[in-house]
Chains A and B, each alone.
Chain A
């Protein structure tokens, strides 16, 4: 069964304390892996798309990496404004078409 698992479910960091979020996936025909940020009560905001193992992308304090079975979102020296839920999604081949499958997210809280 195709699935996406994110860990940890919740993460509390002190401002400046770097860490990583994990997204592991079991899908057939992976076309792309996406990271989104979601603030409470709002829609997900696109961060990155990764297509192949070994690929890396960066944006400010965030860096996303991809292997054949998982992706990591590294947060370097986080600030309180980085507090949000981070969602991982994979575009997988299902029922003769590509579909986007989301994980349950990691809720990040960065304390000043």
Chain B
């Protein structure tokens, strides 16, 4: 079974600065997919960014980018120019390739506070 670990329960950052959230995972699979989800106080889960394990290039979505280190089984999220609206819980998630149910395994989350 896969496990996903987010070692930082809480983090804070000043508005306009950059912050990096950590995620590590344990798998014996070679092909898989990784995701970051954001959960603001509204409780809605929002997909932030995704990465295919077979792609070496790190994914980028506007102010959000990842540092994917396959050998180290690490998938960190970098948020640049942090905004107050980035305050949320962030969850890292893993999915095996050719997974019959397309099931995601989630980490425990990191609570991010952006301070004005």
A and B associate: no
**B residues near A, CB below 8 A?**
none
